[in-house]
Amino acid sequence: MWQLYHFPLCPFSRKVRLALSEKGVAYELKRENPWDASDNFYALNPAGRTPVLHDSERNRTLVDSQAICEYLEETVDKTPLILGTALARAEIRRLVALFDESFFHDVTGPLMHEKMKKRIVLRAAPDSGVLRSAMRLAHEHLDYIDWLIDNHRWLAGAQMSLADFAAAAQISVADYLGGIDWTGHDTAHSWYRVIKSRPSFRSLLTDKMEGIPPASHYADVNA
């Protein structure tokens, strides 16, 4: 069986968990903190980052969330997530990269540094200026989601795709850390509620990071 090396607030592991669940692929979770990684983990991934998907019985190791999702897409027919024409698939990949890179750089990454890493590893107080900036940039990204959903049902078009799960994975971590304010983003909020109520999302909503309680509304699928 596949084992997914992850930690609860890793947005890239969350993207892979959603893809695995949507595609009905069985897996078990293995906890790995990149800031305190084991030798065994470095042997699997010299870059020392989660997620890593590993199958010891068949000696298969997959590294990098997008490489993993492309592999799942190529090998599992159920629930296509990178679908449509080559041009439609390019649009899905553009949006996945936008959330994996820009949203993470602007919002999720700074929130994780200030509210998770500083508490668990660095034992320092969060910088309120950085937090304010991340929340301001979150509004810009939510504006873009509003605009996309005004134009079609899902982020990349008429069909649900990996773009929706990549975005929701980032937002779910930012939301856990109290960085998402839906005020003025009714359209994006409705879209997120739909994703959040999917069975694939359940295990994300019950996951906790020790010492860091989630925002009060975090696990409420109606909030």
Choice from 86, 125, 151, 183 touching a copy of itself (CB under 8 A) = 86
The alpha carbons of the chain give a radius of gyration, in whole angstroms, of 17
Shortest Å, Cβ 34 to a copy of itself: 13
Choice from 42, 60, 121, 186 touching a copy of itself (CB under 8 A) = 60
The answer to the question of residue 43 lying near a copy of itself (CB under 8 A) is no
CB count, 10 Å around CB of 38?
Answer: 11
The answer to the question of residue 46 lying near a copy of itself (CB under 8 A) is yes
Choice from 75, 128, 151, 222 touching a copy of itself (CB under 8 A) = 75
List beta partners, residue 5: 30, 52
The answer to the question of residue 98 lying near a copy of itself (CB under 8 A) is yes
Print burial letters for 72-91: b (CB count within 10 Å at least 16), e (below 16). Answer: bbeebeeebbbbbeeebbeb
What residues between 112 and 171 interact with a copy of itself by CB under 8 A?
Answer: 144
Choice from 9, 44, 68, 168 touching a copy of itself (CB under 8 A) = 68
Distance CA(206)–CA(221), nearest Å, equals: 12
